[in-house]
Structure 1
Amino acid sequence: MQLTFLGTSAGKPTRERNVSAIGLEFEQDNKWYLFDCGEGTQHQLIRCSLSIGKLDTIFISHMHGDHYYGLPGLLSSKKLDTAFRPLTIYGPKGIKKFLECVMDVSFENLNYELKIIEFIAEDSFLFDKFSLKVLALEHSIESFAFYIKENDTDDKINEEKLREIGLEPSPLYGELQRGKSVIFQGKELKPEEYTLAPIQGRSLIIAGDNRKPDVLGDYLEDLDLLVHECTYTQDDYDNLAVKVMHTTAKDLGTVVQENRVKNLIATHINPRYNMKSEKGVELIYNEIKQSYKNRLFIANDFDVYRLGRDGVIEVL
């Protein structure tokens, strides 16, 4: 399972960061999934290995522009690239009206099937390699997180054990995989004796803007990976003239530690934390680390993370 961060800034693009967008890929798959699509996402795709032609589904977390203004340009470029693979967009109420308006006033003819599905909290969807549940967050407008549970693998053949008895890959492998006994060299081979133990699918949450990370409740408990906004340090948030409904590093660190989240990637970083400022992203990292003891990363644009089946994050 691999995540590519295409945009990690909060609210507006900066010289270092574009606005929100994350690509998700699964092993041995010929497609990928996009979570949020801030303005300029198609420019970011030019600079990484993800292909518009293999994009299968887009999920929009909420209707703030830095999370979906990149859709019109991306949809148009998909057509210009003659990438006519069907595309599905999942989003909250309003996403359908927005896209239909854009297509109407621009006289855009996409030449490919575009399906738009508006969801509500607690909706669940099934995909080839995972299931997805929509979770409500707390923000100034409706905002959502996506709980993703990879399918368990429970029918993988123990090739090494079969080769030890002289059975090389053949149609008999398929019979065993389908739960049927087979005869090899006069001996009955039972599927339970030549099938590996089930492998539990990985779990992650990709969250939109959110004031309280603990609103995710039991879904956080022993989660393999949480991707969550971390817009401010606590001190900077406390000194804002106008309070906004975003998460602080202090709150995020406390909640993920209490729920034993195994890996955390913080994103949606306020522009004040940058390389040319006295306030760098290390302030956010250090504040989270005051509470959180597991693996922590502050995402940058074009970072690629691989979540192994052992639950360990590798930075590529």
Structure 2
Amino acid sequence: MKLTFLGTSAGKPTKERNVTALALEFDQDNKWYLFDCGEATQHQILRTSLCIGKLSTVFITHLHGDHCYGLPGLLSSKKLDKAFSPLTIYGPKGIKHFIECVTDTSQEHLGYTLKIVETEANSRIIFDKFVLRVLPLVHSVESFAYFIQEHDTTDKLDEQKLRLAGLEPSPLYGELKRGNSIMHKGKEFLSKDYMLSPLPGRSLIVAGDNSKPDILGAYLENLDLLVHESTYTQKVYDALKTKFLHTTAKKLGEAAQKHHIKNLIATHISPRYSRGSSCDAEMICREIKFAYKGECFVAADFDVFYLDRKKKLQKL
């Protein structure tokens, strides 16, 4: 499971960070998924190995501009690239009107099938690689987290055992994977005798803007990876004259520790945390780690992470 951060700033772009967007790829898959699409996301994609033509689905967490204003350009460029494969967009109520308003006003004829689904909190959607649940968050507008539970892998053969039994790799392996028994040189091979134990699927939450991490409740418990906003340090937030419904590094670290989250990536960083200023992103990291003892990163644009089958997160 590979994650590529295309934008990690909160509210507006900076010289170091673009606004929110995250690409997710699964092992042995020919497509990828996009979570949020802030302004200029298509420019960010051009600086990676990702291809718009292989983009399958977009998930929008909420309708603030720094999370969705990149959609019109992305949809238009997909057409210009002659990438006519279907695309599905999931998001809260209002996403359909937003997209149709732009495409109708500009008289944009996309030339490919665009499906827009206005989803609701607590919805459950099944994909070929995973099951996704839409979870409600606390923000100034309706905001979602997307919980992903990867399917267990059950089609792995014990090839060493098969070779020892006299069956070398061949199309017969495919029959065994499909659960069929086979005959080879007068010997019967039963599928169940040569299948490895299923590998448990990985679990991930990609959260939109949210002031209360604990609202995710049981979905956080022993989660393999949480991607969550950490807009401010607590000291900065406490000093704000106007309070916004965002999470602080302190709250995020405490929630992650409380629920035994295995790995954590903080994103959606306030523009005030920049290199050369009195505040930098390391302050976010230090505050999280004061409470949280698991693996923790503060994402920067173009950071790539891999969560392996053993649930270990590494920065590539």
Matching residue of 1:237: 237
Q: Within the alignment, does 1:151 sit opposite 2:151 as a pair?
A: yes
Match of 2:85 in 1: 85
Q: How far has the Cα of 1:30 moved from its partner?
A: 0.7
Cα distance in 2 for residues equivalent to 1:181 and 1:42? 49
**Corresponding residue for 1:217?**
217
What one-letter code is carried by the residue in structure 2 that aligns with 1:278?
S
Report the CA distance between 1:157 and its aligned residue.
1.1
Partner of 2:18: 18
The alignment status of 1:127 with 2:127, answered yes or no, reads: yes
Equivalent-residue separation in structure 1 for 2:171 and 2:40 (angstroms)? 49
Letter paired with 2:286 = N
Moved more, 251-260 or 167-176: 167-176
Confirm whether residue 75 of structure 1 aligns to residue 75 of structure 2: yes
Counterpart of 2:161? 161
CA distance in 2, matches of 1:189, 1:275: 62
The structural deviation recorded for 1:127 is 1.0
Unaligned runs of 5+ in 1: none
SS at match of 2:4: strand
Q: Quote how far apart the aligned CAs of 1:161 are.
A: 1.3
Whole-angstrom CA distance in 2 between matches of 1:308 and 1:193:
27
Compute the displacement of 1:173 (Å). Answer: 1.6
Please state how far the C-alpha of 1:179 moved relative to its aligned partner: 2.2
Measured after TM superposition, the shift of residue 276 of structure 1 is: 1.7
Q: What amino acid maps onto 2:281 in structure 1?
A: V
- State the AA in 2 paired with 1:28: Q
Question: Does 1:307 find its partner at 2:282?
Answer: no
Once the two structures are superposed, the pairs formed by residues 5-44 of structure 1 within 5 Å of their partners are 5-44=5-44
Aligned to 1:60: 60
The offset of 1:160, in angstroms, is: 1.7
Cα distance in 2 between the residues matched to 1:78 and 1:180: 42
SS of equivalent residue, structure 2 residue 300: coil
1:314 CA displacement? 1.5
Deviations 1:92-134 (A, max 9, x none): 0000001111011101001111010000001111111111100
Alignment of 1:194-273 (within 5 A): 194-273=194-273
Matched residue type, 1:272: R
1:38-60 alpha-carbon deviations (Å, 9 max, x no partner):
00101101111111111110000
| Partner of residue 117, structure 2 | 117
**CA RMSD between the two structures:** 0.9
User: By how many angstroms is 1:278 displaced?
Assistant: 1.3
Aligned: 1:282 with 2:282 = yes
- Per the TM alignment, residue 87 of structure 1 is displaced from its structure 2 partner at its CA by 0.5
Mapped to 2, the partners of 1:174 and 1:83 lie a distance apart of 32
After superposition, the C-alpha distances for 1:180-206 in whole angstroms (9 at most, x for unaligned) are 322233222222221000110000000
Task: Return the letter of the residue paired with 1:116.
Answer: I
| Separation (CA, whole Å) in 2 of partners of 1:27 and 1:172 | 24
Alpha-carbon separation, structure 2, partners of 1:98 and 1:176: 49
Instruction: Indicate the SS of the match to 1:265.
Output: strand
Separation in 2 of the partners of 1:263 and 1:171? 39
After superposition, the C-alpha distances for 1:247-278 in whole angstroms (9 at most, x for unaligned) are 00110000100100000000000001110201
Sequence identity percentage: 65
Q: Which residue of 1 aligns with 2:137?
A: 137
Q: Deviations over 1:227-262 (max 9, x none)?
A: 000000011101100000000011000010010000
- Say yes or no: does 1:100 pair with 2:100: yes
For residue 165 of structure 1, report the CA deviation from its aligned partner: 2.2
- Structure 2: 5+ residue stretches without partners: none
Count of paired positions: 316
Q: Distance in 2 between matches of 1:69 and 1:155?
A: 41
Aligned mates of 2:297, 2:166 — CA distance in 1: 47
Instruction: Tell me the distance in 2 between the aligned counterparts of 1:81 and 1:178.
Output: 38
CA distance in 2, matches of 1:138, 1:78: 33
Displacement of 1:156 after TM fit? 1.5
SS in 2 for 1:36: strand
| AA in 1 matched with 2:204 | L
TM-score (norm 2): 0.98
SS across alignment from 2:228: strand
| Distance in structure 2 (CA, Å) of the matches to 1:90 and 1:43 | 22
